[in-house]
Amino acid sequence: MIIQRTLLAATMAFAAVPLAAQEFTPNSPECIAPANPGGGWDFTCRQVGRTLQDLDLIPGAMQVVNMAGGSGGVAFAEVVNKRDTDDDLIVAASSATATRLAQGAFPGNTMDDVRWLASVGADYGVIAVDADSELQTLPDLMNQIKEDPSSIAIGGGSAVGGWDHLKVLIAAREAGVEDVRQVKYIAFQGGGEAVTQLLAGSLQAFTGDLSEATGFMESGDIRVLALLAPDRLEGEFSDLPTAREQGIDAVGANWRGFYVPGGMSDTAYDYWVNTMSTLYDSEEWKTVMENNGLAPLDLQGEEFQNFVQESISEIEGLSREIGIIQ
């Protein structure tokens, strides 16, 4: 898979435009998080905005606007139709964004309606349960689904057919669930909302990304059954078991990054590309990545544009294979 290959290769460096060549500075930098607070897009906007401010890479603070709806579709349409020439605006994106584009879920819009800016890392998927759940392993969960699919409701922050849903279907397929369409998935407007419903007892499991789950893990509210990474992570997340080591060969990496309005000026685009490159190379961002379990993915400008295109093509093929689209 191109996502996994790119992660393992650690990617190539992008030659950013020198600061001296830039003539643009945003007046009111803004980041749209296309979901409610608490999810991965919200995390991306707030962590990047805070780090950009701490490094004095932007003037003042980054305004973060939560714009939930349509698993990113509301925000995408807002940018394309109303803010196409806004040079101050960046928008959080991820594999979930590529998934919806691959499945034609943003009516009338394609990836070419915006400009793709940069990645800031990759977030491995998790499948988790309430800390008090009787389910102790990923095979426990999958066996329960095989025995009685209606008894297990799994929630995530993407729409039906979105990336959070696909991760569960990939795991179910590898676990031997004969008809993965029987897996009961419930969509929410963000990962935080899905975890809230898990803790309320409305769900039996949660599918999302490690960055979304970290705070709930630290508070002791949830327990991760499986990390969807090729191998165990190092550091504070080294105790998280992978799906592979439990006999289920499922890997799901969610890249995190940004797009900008399609009509953004070249001068502004070059500014943001250079700024994101500087952010990624900073010790401060390396600390954010380590503290939140983000894997390396360092792409800006044209390289990121090509990566997104390949991601969309790959996800389209996977969606057809699983039966999400025809």
Domain with CATH 3.40.190.10 in the chain: 124-246
Question: Are 176 and 146 a contacting pair, CB within 8 Å?
Answer: yes
Helices (H), the chain: 2-9, 40-54, 73-82, 95-102, 138-147, 163-175, 191-199, 210-218, 266-281, 283-292, 301-322
Domain with CATH 3.40.190.150 in the chain: 2-123+254-322
Indicate whether 52 pLDDT > 90.
Answer: yes
pLDDT 10s digits, 250-274: 998 899 999 999 999 999 999 999 9
Cα–Cα distances in angstroms (integers) from residue 3 to residues 129, 161, 197, in the given order: 26, 18, 30
Of 166-180, 283-297, 312-326, where does mean pLDDT reach its minimum?
Answer: 312-326
- CA 95, CA 90: separation in Å to the nearest integer? 17
Question: Are 29 and 64 a contacting pair, CB within 8 Å?
Answer: no
Residues in the chain: 326
pLDDT 10s digits, 78-123: 999 999 999 999 999 999 999 999 999 999 999 999 999 999 999 8
3-state secondary structure of 61: coil
Helices (H), 132-265: 138-147, 163-175, 191-199, 210-218
Full-prediction pTM beyond 0.95? no
3-state secondary structure of 66: strand
pLDDT 10s digits, 111-142: 999 999 999 999 899 999 999 999 999 999 99
Q: What is the pLDDT of residue 8?
A: 46
Going by CATH, does the domain composed of 2-123+254-322 fall within 3.40.190.150? yes
Tokens of 325: 């689209």
Fold of the domain spanning 124-246: D-Maltodextrin-Binding Protein; domain 2 (3.40.190)
